[in-house]
Amino acid sequence: MKAKVIVTPKKAVLDPQGKTVQNALEHIGFKGVKDVRIGKYIEIELEGTDREAALRSIQEASHKILSNPVIEDYSVEICD
Amino acid sequence: MKAKVIVTPKKAVLDPQGKTVQNALEHIGFKGVKDVRIGKYIEIELEGTDREAALRSIQEASHKILSNPVIEDYSVEICD
């Protein structure tokens, strides 16, 4: 079983890394880029088959150590 | 229109950041974590409505500047 966690900066938080990528994209000729936000992608390989328990456990982990809930949002998805 | 790009280290490439997170998870009591891989998540807000063109353009950008194709894989998804 696999858990996919995406951690992104909250909308209200400045994302200088994203701004830099946006400028770089424009600089090399990519038009029409309105905004870029950069986050983290975390793939966790899990033992067991209980999806509900896995979801709860990974949500707790996301809140505790994978993200900083003050400035970041996270989403968790469990797949096979 | 929004493009979501996920950049992950290739399977054969060591991921020390992932290993550190795996150790941290075990350390604070999360059991059954077999592997952790950490990548980047890039959300790009685009002008226009041509999904095909957007996909081609973002795939090119992913190859050229968002990832290092020698050690990283990327996947692109276009959504509304």
Question: What residues of chain B, 15 to 74, have a C-beta less than 8 Å from chain A?
Answer: 18, 21, 24-25, 28, 30-48, 57, 61, 64-66
Q: What is the ipTM of this complex?
A: 0.90
pLDDT digits (tens, 9 = 90+) for B54-63: 999 999 999 9
pLDDT digits (tens, 9 = 90+) for A5-49: 999 999 999 999 999 999 999 999 998 999 999 999 999 999 988
For chain B, what's the residue count? 80
Is the model's pLDDT at B80 over the cut of 90?
no
| Per-residue tokens: B14 | 């060591």
Can you spell out the DSSP letters for B27-49? HTT---EEEEEEEEEEEEEESSS
Residue B49's pLDDT is 86
| Residue B58: closest C-alpha in chain A | A30
| Interstrand relation of A72-79 and B2-9 (parallel, antiparallel or unpaired) | unpaired
The number of folded domains in chain A is 1
Domain range for B45 is 2-79
